[in-house]
Amino acid sequence: MIEVMLVDDHAVVREGYRRMLQTEDDLRVVAEAADATEALNLWRQLKPQVMVIDLALPGMGGLELITRLRQRDPQCRCLAFSMHRDPLWATQALKAGALGYVTKSSDPALLVHAVREVAAQRRIISPDLAGEVAARLLDEAGGAAQGLTPRELEVLRLLLAGTSAQQIAEALHLSVKTVHNLHYQVKAKFGTSSDFELARMAWREGWTD
């Protein structure tokens, strides 16, 4: 039996996917979490085989959650589950340590298949993104956002949502100085001098929620 935890801030979404997964004889949803902090606490208690994680969580996002889970247990098997169809988010999830990336627009059967693949420690990417993701991972010079780390992308996401440096520091358990340094690094990598330019570029490229 494959034990699964669902991490998504929308209760209706969790309920729908829980019901779908539990129609399978070999899958069992043992826990659900609405945010990263709750997910970490439940994971410590239950250690499910597969973590299905939405990337757009409030506060600490899915990328940071995946990073922290993998730091605590390098064998932790994470499946990123996101509305983002941009290969940037998929590559960042893989860099953070996820074994798979499935978009929410995919056929529901793909999520079931992906959970089994990740449980077996095999990598899986939504077919509509697989080619682009492979190209991005092979092309280290590809695009302004290619050099961002998962944590830098999380800081960018929160900044563009209007979150203050203090609030970001609290959400990600970092110092305010570290947040300011990450903010500066993101702007330097994008070659922008202001937050307005950074926001315009991120919005244009579809890199934000």
Angle 150-35-21 from CA coordinates, rounded to 5°: 95
DSSP-assigned states of every residue in 126-161: -HHHHHHHHHHHH-TT-SGGGG--HHHHHHHHHHHT
Q: pLDDT grade, residue 91 (50/70/90)?
A: confident
Tell which CATH classification among 3.40.50.300, 3.30.160.270, 3.40.50.2300, 3.40.630.30 matches the domain 2-138. 3.40.50.2300
Cα–Cα dist 72/172, whole Å: 15
Helix (H) or strand (E) holding 125: strand 124-125
Q: Is the pLDDT of residue 141 over 50?
A: no
Could you tell me the residue ranges of all domains in the chain? 2-138, 144-205
Element holding 103 (H helix, E strand): strand 100-103
CB 64 within 8 A of CB 36: yes
| pLDDT, greater one: 38 or 90 | 38
- Can you tell me the mean pLDDT for 135-141? 54
CATH 1.10.10.60 fits 144-205, yes or no: no
Read off the pLDDT of residues 177-199 as tens digits, 9 standing for 90 and up: 888 888 888 888 777 777 777 77
pTM: predicted TM-score of the whole model, two decimal places? 0.74
